[in-house]
Amino acid sequence: MSFGIGLIAGLFGGLVGLGGGVVMIPLMIRFFQFEQVLAHGTSLMALIFTGAAGAVTYYLKGSVDILAAALLAAAAIFTARFGALYANSLPEWKLKRAFGVFVILVSLILLAKPYFAHISHPVSGWPKVAVLLTSGALAGFFSGMMGVGGGALMVPALVLLVGHTQHTAQGSALLAMVPAGSVGAYTHWRLGNVVTKILPGLILGIILGTYLGGTLAHMLSEAALRFIFAAVLIWLGIRDIRKSAKIRERVQA
């Protein structure tokens, strides 16, 4: 079962440039009956391998900006730990609702990119460095908090503000997930939020699935890939908002 979950998460992550935690977490909760925080911690530990396998696949296709990934990761490693700690202190329904609204807004902006491309000018020089560091810091915090790779924040920033293609943005985000995810995963492990016995199966499935997903991604046009990415985020955002309402009702009952 763990191999199957890893395979699905890796395929999804490699295709759209996300860590796959948004798929892995609900599957672990459903089939292994994990508590939310255990699913987050275990997912983040496994996602280190999603990022590594996906980055290699995209790099072999020439779709990784190593410098951009390094700047994203440099900021993310400092905030991932705080995100993991914050996850233990805030009501779950608030986290889900805020993240759901955020990813929907990001998705709509990403879909609108072709329509405001003539007034959007990618930054360069020090402003570019500032954008990458800021995006990395936010992504690192959300990565540690939500148990995901952070690509939902990194990819739109790379596409809309830095001017990367969708393929390069996804490959660079996957590479940046490795060090950032490692810090968040270590913090969750110290807190006892990682179930190590299912990791071997998850990791094997993730490595195979990520390679297949990354290969498939390069067979699609940039417009198609951007649409798939945005559609997935909108679906996930709506799902989290609906779940947050149910959790709130259950808590207040």
| Per-residue pLDDT tens over the stretch 107-164 | 776 676 666 555 556 777 888 899 899 999 998 888 787 767 677 788 888 888 888 8
pLDDT at 73: 93
pTM of the model: 0.77
DSSP the chain: -HHHHHHHHHHHHHHHTS-SHHHHHHHHHHHH---HHHHHHHHHHHHHHHHHHHHHHHHHTT---HHHHHHHHHHHHHHHHHHHHHHTTS-HHHHHHHHHHHHHHHHHHHHTHHHHTTT-----HHHHHHHHHHHHHHHHHHHHHHTS-SHHHHHHHIIIII---HHHHHHHHHHHHHHHHHHHHHHHHHTT---GGGHHHHHHHHHHHHHHHHHHHTTS-HHHHHHHHHHHHHHHHHHHHHHHHHHHHHHH-
Asked if pLDDT for residue 21 goes beyond 60, the answer is yes
Show the domain range for 172.
Answer: 2-252
**Arithmetic mean of pLDDT, 158-175:** 86
pLDDT above 70 as % of the chain: 89
pLDDT score for 53: 84
Query: In terms of Cα–Cα distance, which of 217, 198, 224, 225 is closest to 53?
Result: 217
Say whether pLDDT at 192 is over 70: yes
Task: Please give the pLDDT value at position 118.
Answer: 52
For 80-110, what is each residue's pLDDT tens digit?
888 888 877 777 677 677 777 777 876 776 6
Computed over every residue of the chain, the mean pLDDT equals 82
Q: Please report the pLDDT score of residue 117 as a whole number.
A: 52
Over residues 201-211, the mean pLDDT reads 89
Measured CA to CA, the distance from residue 41 to residue 25 in angstroms comes to 9
> How many domains are contained in the chain?
1
Mean pLDDT of 165-193: 87
227: how many CB neighbours lie within 10 A of its CB? Answer: 16
